[in-house]
Amino acid sequence: MFGLTFSTAWVKTSVSGLDQIITSWGSAQTGRKWMFRIQPTGEPAVGVWGGFAKGTVSVADNQWHHIAAVLNRDETPSVDEIQFYVDGQLQVTAANNTQSINTSDSDGVYLGVLDTGTLQNYFRGLLDDVRIYSRALTAEEIAALAE
């Protein structure tokens, strides 16, 4: 499932201090678990079990925000190549560990929860219009989704 991957969602939360999962899939192995989430500090992020990238704008302000994460690479993708959009605007991205990504769809797709048997995180707030694409959208398409 790696390659052109794109996740979007409308989120509303005021919770900070906890990871909040929006969507996740893949196996609980290094580089193989895609976790689209809100960081404990409030920024949108994608973790891949061993590395993560995050935006720099907090969305944990109890207001509705459209967030998007895109990875537009077919061969040897890495978390430092993920781009984030908040309310239709491209954000600065910070990466921690340039872990390569090779997610798997063998573990199912979860919405609002990460369940690996031993680690359970869930979204604390409201989610709407959560989408997963197998192609990269243009900046114009992202802006239209955020209207």
pTM here is 0.83
pLDDT tens for each residue of 63-106: 999 999 887 665 556 666 788 899 999 987 766 666 566 666 56
Go through 95-115 and write b for each residue having 16 or more CB atoms within 10 A of its CB, e for each that does not: beeebebbbeeebeebebebe
Q: Residue 143: CB partners within 8 Å, gap ≥ 6? A: 88
Distances, alpha carbon 102 to alpha carbons 34, 67, 78, 106, 112, in Å: 9, 23, 9, 12, 22
Q: Name the average pLDDT for the chain.
A: 80
Residue 110 is part of which domain span?
4-145
> What are the structure tokens assigned to 73, written together?
């690479």
> What are the structure tokens assigned to 70, written together?
């895109």
Q: Mean pLDDT, to the nearest integer, of 20-41?
A: 82
Q: What is the CATH number of the domain that holds 128?
A: 2.60.120.200
Looking at the structure of the chain, the number of domains it has is 1
Higher-scoring residue by pLDDT: 101, 4: 101
